[in-house]
Amino acid sequence: SQQGEEDPQALSIQEGENATMNCSYKTSINNLQWYRQNSGRGLVHLILIRSNEREKHSGRLRVTLDTSKKSSSLLITASRAADTASYFCALNGQNFVFGPGTRLSVLP
Protein backbone atom coordinates (compact mmCIF):
# COMPACT_ATOMS: atom_id res chain seq x y z
CA SER A 1 0.00 0.00 0.00
CA GLN A 2 1.20 3.51 -0.76
CA GLN A 3 -0.80 4.96 2.10
CA GLY A 4 1.05 7.18 4.51
CA GLU A 5 0.85 6.32 8.16
CA GLU A 6 1.15 9.18 10.61
CA ASP A 7 2.12 8.79 14.20
CA PRO A 8 1.17 9.56 16.80
CA GLN A 9 -2.55 9.39 16.10
CA ALA A 10 -3.11 12.07 18.71
CA LEU A 11 -0.78 14.50 20.45
CA SER A 12 -1.48 16.88 23.28
CA ILE A 13 1.06 19.52 24.31
CA GLN A 14 1.29 22.81 26.15
CA GLU A 15 1.51 26.12 24.37
CA GLY A 16 5.13 27.00 23.65
CA GLU A 17 6.27 23.39 23.32
CA ASN A 18 7.34 21.80 20.05
CA ALA A 19 5.17 19.25 18.29
CA THR A 20 6.61 16.51 16.10
CA MET A 21 4.55 14.32 13.83
CA ASN A 22 5.85 11.51 11.66
CA CYS A 23 4.73 9.96 8.42
CA SER A 24 5.93 6.65 7.01
CA TYR A 25 5.17 5.17 3.61
CA LYS A 26 5.98 2.15 1.53
CA THR A 27 6.41 3.07 -2.14
CA SER A 28 8.35 5.61 -4.16
CA ILE A 29 7.10 9.17 -4.31
CA ASN A 30 7.68 12.33 -6.34
CA ASN A 31 7.04 14.53 -3.36
CA LEU A 32 5.42 14.51 0.05
CA GLN A 33 3.10 17.21 1.31
CA TRP A 34 1.71 18.15 4.69
CA TYR A 35 -1.77 19.54 5.13
CA ARG A 36 -3.74 20.89 8.05
CA GLN A 37 -7.45 20.54 8.69
CA ASN A 38 -9.45 22.45 11.26
CA SER A 39 -12.61 20.82 12.65
CA GLY A 40 -13.63 18.90 9.53
CA ARG A 41 -13.15 21.83 7.18
CA GLY A 42 -11.20 21.74 3.94
CA LEU A 43 -7.52 20.99 4.05
CA VAL A 44 -4.94 23.72 3.83
CA HIS A 45 -1.59 23.04 2.22
CA LEU A 46 1.35 23.67 4.55
CA ILE A 47 4.53 22.56 2.84
CA LEU A 48 5.81 20.37 0.01
CA ILE A 49 9.12 18.53 0.04
CA ARG A 50 10.46 16.84 -3.07
CA SER A 51 12.05 13.43 -3.12
CA ASN A 52 15.49 14.95 -3.71
CA GLU A 53 15.20 17.31 -0.75
CA ARG A 54 16.02 16.46 2.84
CA GLU A 55 14.69 19.43 4.80
CA LYS A 56 12.48 22.47 4.27
CA HIS A 57 11.40 25.33 6.48
CA SER A 58 8.38 27.57 6.44
CA GLY A 59 7.93 29.90 9.37
CA ARG A 60 7.56 27.75 12.48
CA LEU A 61 7.34 24.59 10.40
CA ARG A 62 10.23 22.28 9.61
CA VAL A 63 9.80 19.21 7.44
CA THR A 64 12.36 16.47 6.90
CA LEU A 65 12.32 13.64 4.43
CA ASP A 66 14.37 10.45 4.57
CA THR A 67 13.71 8.50 1.38
CA SER A 68 15.94 5.62 2.51
CA LYS A 69 13.70 5.10 5.53
CA LYS A 70 10.59 6.21 3.65
CA SER A 71 9.65 8.61 6.39
CA SER A 72 8.99 12.29 6.92
CA SER A 73 8.53 14.42 9.99
CA LEU A 74 6.72 17.69 10.59
CA LEU A 75 7.97 19.85 13.44
CA ILE A 76 5.97 22.80 14.70
CA THR A 77 8.06 24.97 16.98
CA ALA A 78 6.76 27.21 19.76
CA SER A 79 3.24 25.89 19.35
CA ARG A 80 0.17 28.02 19.85
CA ALA A 81 -3.41 27.16 20.76
CA ALA A 82 -4.35 28.11 17.19
CA ASP A 83 -2.20 25.22 15.92
CA THR A 84 -4.81 22.80 17.28
CA ALA A 85 -5.92 20.83 14.22
CA SER A 86 -5.46 17.56 12.39
CA TYR A 87 -2.33 17.22 10.30
CA PHE A 88 -2.09 14.92 7.30
CA CYS A 89 0.77 13.83 5.14
CA ALA A 90 -0.03 13.25 1.48
CA LEU A 91 2.08 11.13 -0.81
CA ASN A 92 2.35 12.31 -4.40
CA GLY A 93 3.41 9.32 -6.41
CA GLN A 94 1.18 7.59 -8.87
CA ASN A 95 -1.65 9.47 -7.19
CA PHE A 96 -2.33 11.53 -4.10
CA VAL A 97 -2.70 9.36 -1.01
CA PHE A 98 -3.46 10.79 2.42
CA GLY A 99 -2.60 9.24 5.74
CA PRO A 100 -5.13 8.99 8.60
CA GLY A 101 -3.74 12.08 10.29
CA THR A 102 -2.42 13.23 13.64
CA ARG A 103 -4.81 15.17 15.86
CA LEU A 104 -2.82 17.86 17.65
CA SER A 105 -4.19 19.65 20.70
CA VAL A 106 -2.26 22.63 22.00
CA LEU A 107 -3.38 23.56 25.48
CA PRO A 108 -3.17 27.20 26.59
Closest CB to other proteins among 76 and 91?
91
**Size of interface with other proteins, in residues (CB under 8 A):** 21
**CB proximity list for 107: less than 8 A, separation 6 or greater:** 12, 13, 14, 15, 81
Q: Which of 1, 82, 95, 108 binds other proteins (CB under 8 A)?
A: 95
Q: Which amino acid makes up residue 62?
A: R
Q: Which is nearer to other proteins, 18 or 30 (CB)?
A: 30
SS3 of residue 2 by DSSP: coil
When the beta carbons of 19 and 89 are compared against other proteins, the nearer one is 89
Q: Which stretch binds other proteins (CB under 8 A): 20-28, 30-38, 56-64, 70-78?
A: 30-38
CB 98 within 8 A of CB 5: no
